[in-house]
Amino acid sequence: MAWNMQTDLLQGTEINLANTLIYQTWEESEIYGYPIKYIKATETQNNPIFSESTAREFLSTNGYNMSSKRDEDTLYTGSEVFGNFGYTPSYNQILYIAVKYFTDIEAITLLPFVPIEGDLIYDKTDNIFFEITKVDTKTETQSSLRINKTLLAHKIFLKQFKWSYNDNFDTSLTTELIDTKLTVQDLANINLELDTAIADLGIIDYTEDDSIFGEFK
């Protein structure tokens, strides 16, 4: 597809400076951005006491292909933390998604469509599911993303998505996004060679258990 970043006044799509900047922000994302899948969450269960979703459904019909710009065009630096049972890496990211993606969807569905907390974003480049934790506000949005009241792109804060047993994914959506070449059996045997090599060394003593807390009387 040939891109023309110049203002197009003849076609009537960019009748003023605001429309021109909105369109060019979207064009830049299409050319230089990273492919993502935006997945709108559908609430299936709610806790009225805390006013929060306790179960969600993610359908393929609510998934939309977009492109985004990253806060830093490098690999995810993330933040590494020690979990309860060992070393667990976690990833956080900030993306910028052109407003035109959402207004185009609104024009097709005739329903309001904006990014909100709890929706998911699947990064197709690094194969990571992210959950939206915060969406831009008037006070936090960078001036380069907003001209007066005209918003050019959403600044979206993400954290790595943690699977919940209450969350339900449409099978057609998981088939599209998740690599099914790696089976459960593959995961079970991922350390098989290492376990076998350690066992062959004969250094593990199975005759008695370690009493790390001593003897309780």
Q: What would the pLDDT profile of 63-84 be if each residue is shown by its tens digit?
A: 999 999 987 654 444 444 444 5
Q: Is there a domain that residue 216 lies in?
A: no
Q: Is there a domain that residue 211 lies in?
A: no
- Domain count along the chain: 1
Q: Is there a domain that residue 193 lies in?
A: no
Q: Is there a domain that residue 131 lies in?
A: yes
Give pLDDT, residue 83. 47
Q: What is the length of the chain?
A: 217
Q: Is there a domain that residue 10 lies in?
A: no
Q: Is there a domain that residue 89 lies in?
A: yes
Domain residue limits at 125: 17-177
Q: Is there a domain that residue 161 lies in?
A: yes
Tell me the C-alpha distance between 70 and 158, whole Å.
Answer: 11
Q: Is there a domain that residue 119 lies in?
A: yes
Give pLDDT, residue 174. 73
**Pairing outcome for strands 79-83 and 150-151:** unpaired
User: Which residue ranges of the chain lie beneath pLDDT 50?
Assistant: 49-51, 54, 74-83
